[in-house]
Amino acid sequence: MSIRPIYLDSHATTPVDERVLAAMLPYFTQHFGNPSSNSHVYGWEAEAAVKQTRKILAEAINATPEEIVFTSGATEANNLAIKGVAEAYYQKGQHIITVATEHSAVIDPCNYLKTLGFEITILQVEKDGIINLNQLEKALRSDTILVSVMAANNEIGVLQPLAEIGELCRSQEIIFHTDAAQAIAKIPLDVQAMKIDLMSLTAHKVYGPKGIGALYVRRRNPRVQLAPQQHGGGHERGMRSGTLYTPQIVGFGKAVEIGLEEQKRESDRLTQLRDILWKQLSQLPGIHLNGHPTQRLPGNLNISVEKVDGSALLLGLQPVMAVSSGSACSSATTAPSHVLTALGHSEQLAYASVRFGIGRFNTQEEIDRVAEHFISTVQSLRKQATFV
């Protein structure tokens, strides 16, 4: 029996926690009702389960249950937020601001809106991956209707200053959206304190099932209007039609509940493992840490390696570890990571990058084994290169 590689790609996805799966299973076979069926017990059971998850998600971000709109994931939530605002507020203005290091689920909807006549300002980031608040303030205009800045970057893990961004937007009555797919239940989030108007969430980055997400939509101070992007039944207060997937929703709630309960302890543990890994890898010459050294997700380490071929590096690592060189959603492309090039890296460094996503089930023993194999692989590739 072959030994599977150590999984260190938790920013791409996470395994479903057994406690989450146990919570989901009854809603496939026993409590299988449609939550919109309000005339019998089967529907009432499903509706109660959905309401419970709304409550859990709302409490996780200091919102109200009525402000949680379920989607198929963060990609749909981002599209609903960005296109929904554009369509609802186009008479007020057609200017949107986002950031060069955003996920493609934000960049692509913005590029689509450009074809419809909207003007998109894409802010650059500092070398540590964090935006310059002065540049953001200068970019705000009287016709700006939306600012979209992700909470935690999916590649380099940096945490953007959400509260400061929210304050700037609120002072000029501009809607603030954040993609918090990587952040939910991992770092503290508070839509009131941070003045966030729209927040995209997903379950599968936090040990929940794939195929379920949510969008927080502020209902007051100010009330945010969204044009629905999917029609057919008026579900989710008319913002997202479609029969709710109760088992996935239950799993989402349980995953966030567990994440919140264990957040402090797990954050400390992952930070320790990350720092141990970086201390060992940084002994190699020509190793670059991508992103802010501390203002980042606890389990994230993204590095670039000089004097090695990126494809050869990943190939050499594969027998021992499952890692990636960037976003899983763009892994089929041959272009270097747009996030790393935005940091000012050369194509060589951008290609020769590795994203380590340390997760709930990783151990220090695994981290030590990964570091040892990584160092030996880099050293071997460099020796081979000198004889080419």
- Indicate if the pLDDT at residue 333 is higher than 80: no
C-alpha separations of 199 from 120, 167, 350 in Å: 20, 16, 29
Percent share of the chain, pLDDT over 70: 96
Q: How sure is the predictor about 241, in pLDDT bands with cuts at 50, 70 and 90?
A: confident
Residues 168 and 176: their CA atoms lie apart, in Å, by 9
Token pair for 255: 């995953």
Q: pLDDT tens for residues 351-377? A: 999 999 999 999 999 999 999 999 999
- Indicate if the pLDDT at residue 71 is higher than 70: yes
Structural fold of domain 6-15+263-386 = Aspartate Aminotransferase, domain 1 (3.90.1150)
Residue 388 confidence (pLDDT): 39
* Active site positions, annotated: 329
Q: What is the pTM of this model?
A: 0.95
Structural fold of domain 18-261 = Aspartate Aminotransferase; domain 2 (3.40.640)
- Going by C-alpha positions, the residue among 126, 123, 120 that lies closest to residue 135 is 123
Q: pLDDT tens for residues 25-69? A: 999 999 999 998 889 999 999 999 999 999 999 999 999 999 999
Mean pLDDT confidence for 229-238: 82
The DSSP 8-state label assigned to residue 377 in this structure reads H
Instruction: Show me where the domains of the chain are located.
Output: 6-15+263-386, 18-261
Mean pLDDT confidence for 170-194: 98
| Phi-psi region at 211: left, alpha or beta (left = phi > 0; alpha = psi -120 to 50) | left
